[in-house]
Amino acid sequence: MHKRGVVTTQKIRVDQLVNSDNPRYTRDSHGQWWYKPIGTMDHPRTRAYVKACKRCSKNYLASIFHRKFTEYCSRVCSARNSAEANPGKFSGDRSGNWKGGRRIDHRGYALVWAPGRKTSIYMFEHRLVMEKILGRQLLPGENVHHKNGIRDDNRPENLELWAKHQPPGQRLAEQRHCTTCTCSA
């Protein structure tokens, strides 16, 4: 290696370069690599260098037009290096896709963002509310039942802990006799 991670061109074969199949890079009869930018008439070609990636140590071609990515062989290596250097920088409420940490799944249950859980980042809100009421995590055989049958109504007074599998729907005593009325008969 020479200065700034530039590798000598005599020892590197074409098949050992990550981006040698890029049609913008060509090699002359002397073994020198050249880069031809698209759409620029005043720069017909620019010298390219063989460099070693800072992350994966693979050899790649770089030119002066790739100053941002001259330390890495690809955008993937650059992004992975950035993610390892700054863990959690773009996760959760710091993400561009953050929508408040609560969403409704396809069955109608509310999911909330709960980092630090072993199984998943999102968990069912009714289970999280019941765990806060009990002051412990739920056991594998315990289920949370919605008394009024509305799956995203997770008020503590609407939730009930069951120790076995529950049937779908509501109890007969809790059902409304028609869908439009508000009576409980």
CA 172 to the chain's CA centroid: 44
Strands (E), the chain: 6-7, 25-27, 33-35, 46-52, 59-62, 102-104, 110-113, 122-124, 143-146, 159-162
- Domains contained in the chain, number: 2
Residue 62 pLDDT more than 70? yes
Q: What is the mean pLDDT of the chain?
A: 79
Specify the pLDDT at position 31: 83
Specify the pLDDT at position 129: 94
Q: Is residue 154 one of the residues assigned to a domain?
A: yes
Q: Which residues contact 117 (CB under 8 A, 6 or more apart)?
A: 123
117 and 164 both lie in a single domain: yes
pLDDT digits (tens, 9 = 90+) for 108-137: 999 988 877 766 788 899 999 999 999 998
Matching residue, tokens 């030119």 = 63
Specify the pLDDT at position 47: 84
Specify the pLDDT at position 1: 47
Q: Which domain holds residue 150?
A: 98-174
Regarding pTM above 0.75, the answer is: no
Please tell me which residue, 75 or 125, carries the higher pLDDT value. Answer: 125
125 and 146 both lie in a single domain: yes
**In this structure, are residues 60 and 77 in contact, taking their beta carbons and an 8 Å threshold?**
no
Overall residue count recorded for the chain in this entry:
185
Specify the pLDDT at position 9: 47
- Sequential DSSP letters for 45-78: -EEEEEEE-TTT--EEEE-GGGSTTTTSSSHHHH
Residue 162 pLDDT more than 90? no
Lowest mean pLDDT among 30-39, 135-144, 155-164, 169-178: 169-178
105 and 79 both lie in a single domain: no
Average pLDDT, stretch 7-16? 62
CA 123 to the chain's CA centroid: 17
166 and 105 both lie in a single domain: yes
Q: Which of the listed residues 38, 60, 85 is the one where a domain comes to its end? A: 85
Q: Is residue 91 one of the residues assigned to a domain?
A: no
42 and 77 both lie in a single domain: yes
Q: Is residue 117 one of the residues assigned to a domain?
A: yes
Q: Which of the listed residues 61, 85, 109 is the one where a domain comes to its end? A: 85
Q: Is residue 17 one of the residues assigned to a domain?
A: yes
Phi, psi (degrees; rounded to nearest 5) at 179: -75, -20
